[in-house]
Structure 1
Amino acid sequence: MKKALLEVNGLKTYYPVGSKSLLGRQQHFVKAVDDVSFTIYEGETFGLVGESGCGKSTTGRSILRLTEPTDGEVLFQGENLAALSEREMQAKRRDLQIIFQDPFASLNPRMTIGQILEEPLLVHGVKSKTERQRRVSELLEVVGLHRYHADRYAHEFSGGQRQRIGIARALALKPKLVVADEPVSALDVSIQSQVINLMQDLQKQFQLTYLFIAHDLSVVRHICNRVGVMYLGRIVEQGECDKLYENPLHPYTQALLSAVPIPDPSQQRERIILQGDVPSPVNPPVGCAFHPRCPHAMDVCRTTRPDFREAHEGQLVACHLY
C-alpha cells in the first residue's frame, strides 16, 4: 500500500487588498488558494496544472511556508507544518526543498556557484569546510556539471546550466519532497527535455518525491503519475495521469487538453474555445467558479459550489454534471 508523504487539507492563502472598514477589519482579499486538498505519496510525481494566475505557485509556496497560509493543514509525514514555530520549521526544511521557475533570479549574482551550494550545508550544521566542498563537487557532477564550475558566477552559465545548479541546490540536504515550480518553462524546448530527464534520473537515484507545477500539459503527462487541475484557486479535477488525459471529466480540463498541440499534422482535434475572461479572485463567482465560462452551466452551478467527489475509480471531479 502506498504511504502518504504529504497531505494538504483545506489549504487557503488570502492576500488583503484595499482599505479596511471603519472598525479596522479587512474587507477584501485576493483568494489565491481557496480550499485546496490533495495527497502526495512517497516516490511519486504529483502534477499541478492550470492557467497562469490560478494559484499553482502559491500552493507550492504555501506548503513550504515561503508564503504563510491563511488556513488549512499541511501534514508532512503526519506533522502539521502550518502549526510549527519558525525554529521547528527551519529544521524541517532539510526534507522540503524547491526548484524555482526563473533559474537566474533565484541565484545570488554576488556569490560563486560553490558558495551558493555550500550555503544550505552551512545553515544546517555541516561545519567542516572540507566536507562541504566535497559535497559541492558531488552535487555538480550529479547534475551533469564539472567541479571547476564551482568558482564561476551565475551569469557565466546558460539557462539550462543555471537550472541544473538550482536542482543541485535543492538536493544539497538530501530532501524527501521537492516542489518544482515550473522548472522548465523558462528554457528552450531542447533544454527542457534534458532537465526533465535529469529530474527523472535523480528521482530514481535519491528516492525523491516531486510536486511538479506547470502549465505545459505535455510535459506533465511525460513526468507525472497523478495530476490535479486548478482553476481560480481551487482544484476542479484530480486523478491518474493517463486516465485524466484520455477521459477528462471537467469542462475546464477538456478545454485545456483541447489546446495541446498534436505533433502529427494529419490528426485533427476539436478545439474548445472558452468564452469570457477568468473572474477576479477578489470577488469569485458564487457556486461553481467556472460557471461564467462553462458551456454546460446549469442553474445549480450558479448557486451551489459542487462537492469534490469520485466520479470514476481514482478520478475525482468538482462538477454538477457528475
Structure 2
Amino acid sequence: MLLQVHNLRKTFPIRGGLLGKKTGEITAVDDVSFYVKKGETLGLVGESGCGKSTTGRAILRLHEPTSGQIEFEGKSLLALSEEEMRKARRDLQMVFQDPFASLNPRQKVMDILEEPLIVHGMGNGKERKEQVQELLHLVGLNQSHAMRYPHQFSGGQRQRIGIARALSTKPKLIVADEPVSALDVSIQSQVLNLMADLQEKFELTYLFIAHDLSVVKHISDRVGVMYLGRLVELADRDELYERPLHPYTQALLSAVPVPDPDFQKQRIILSGDVPSPANPPKGCAFHPRCPHVMDICKEVRPEFADQGGGHFSACHL
C-alpha cells in the first residue's frame, strides 16, 4: 500500500467571549480509515462540509491531525519532524480547488513552477528553467506562458498551472481537492483527461476529492462516501454505483442527472438538514435523515466493516 490512514480525527476549537476561550469544538473528520494502492485513484465524495477537504489536508499535515495514524510507504507521517515532513512533501503534492486563489498573483508562472524545485534543491538554474518549460508542455501550455502572471489566464489554464506545480517535484501521491469544481463543464473534461494521461505516464496515485459523482465515476478506481466527517461506504467504482449499500449513497446516486429526457429516474429526497458538526447526533450520524431508520440507529454507532468483496459500509441494515 502506498498510503494507509487509520482512525484519522481532526477537530477545530470553537472560541467565544472577550478572551477567546474555547467553548466547544467542531469534529471535521471523525475516525476515518482507508488505504490507497500505488497507481490507483481513490475518489472521496459527499456533500459540502462533510470533511473531504479536511481529510486531504490532514493527510499532508496542512491541518495537523488531532489523532490517528497516517502511513506513507510504511512510514508514519505524524512521527516526522517539521524538517523531515518538508522533505517528504516532495513525494506528496496537492492540487487546490480554487485556481484563482492557489497561485501567487505577484509571481510569474516561471517563478511559481520553479519555486518547488528550489525548495527541494532539484537541479541548477539552467536545469530548472528547462524543467519548467517541460512542465508547461506536459499540461498543454506554451513556453511563452512562463513569463505571464496568473491573472492573464483563464480558470482552466490556471488549473493546468496548478497541476504542473504539483508535478514539478515528481511526486508519488497527489491529493486533488475538487480540481474541476470551479471550471466550466467543457473545461472539466479536458482537465480530467489531462490528469488521467499524466497518471498513466508518470504512474501517479491520486486521492481525488469531489462532490460531483459523475466526475468521480469517470476518473476513480475506488470510491469512498463521507457524511458528517465519517466514511459511510467504500467500494470499487462499478460495485458502488451498481449496488450501493448505504442509504446516503443511494440518495446521492439518485440525484445524478441522466442525459436522456425520456428516462424516468426515481429520486430519493432526504428530509431535514445536515446536523451541525459541533453537535453531531448520537449513534449513526445519518439517522435523522434516513428513510430506513431503526431504534438501534439512534443509539449505536454502526461499525465501518467489510460487507463482502472489499465493499465497506457503516450501516445497521
Q: CA deviation at 1:82?
A: 1.4
- Could you report, residue by residue, the CA deviation over 1:10-64 in whole angstroms, capped at 9, with x for unpaired residues? 00010010359xxx99552100001100000000000000000000000000000
How far apart in 2 are the matches of 1:19 and 1:303?
Answer: 31
Q: CA deviation at 1:104?
A: 1.1
Corresponding letter in the other structure for 2:173 = L
Decide whether the 8 Å contact of 2:15 with 2:21 is kept in 1: no
Name the % identity. Answer: 67
Corresponding letter in the other structure for 2:10 = T
Corresponding letter in the other structure for 1:176 = K
1:1-322 map, 5 Å: 4-19=1-16, 26=22, 28-126=24-122, 128-321=124-317
> Unmatched 5+ residue regions in structure 2?
none
- Could you report, residue by residue, the CA deviation over 1:253-309 in whole angstroms, capped at 9, with x for unpaired residues? 000000000001111111000000000001100100000000101000000000011
Corresponding letter in the other structure for 2:3 = L
- Could you report, residue by residue, the CA deviation over 1:61-114 in whole angstroms, capped at 9, with x for unpaired residues? 000001111000010001111121100100000000000000110000000000
How far apart in 2 are the matches of 1:284 and 1:57?
Answer: 19
Tell me: CA distance 1:186–1:25, structure 2 relative to 1, closer, same or farther (3 Å). Answer: closer
Q: CA deviation at 1:126?
A: 2.6
How far apart in 1 are the matches of 2:107 and 2:244?
Answer: 46
Corresponding letter in the other structure for 1:124 = H
Structure 1 runs of 4+ with >3 Å offset:
24-27
How far apart in 2 are the matches of 1:159 and 1:177?
Answer: 24
Q: Secondary structure at the match of 1:168?
A: helix
Corresponding letter in the other structure for 1:12 = R
Q: CA deviation at 1:312?
A: 2.9
Q: Secondary structure at the match of 2:94?
A: strand
How far apart in 1 are the matches of 2:124 and 2:34?
Answer: 40
Corresponding letter in the other structure for 1:128 = N
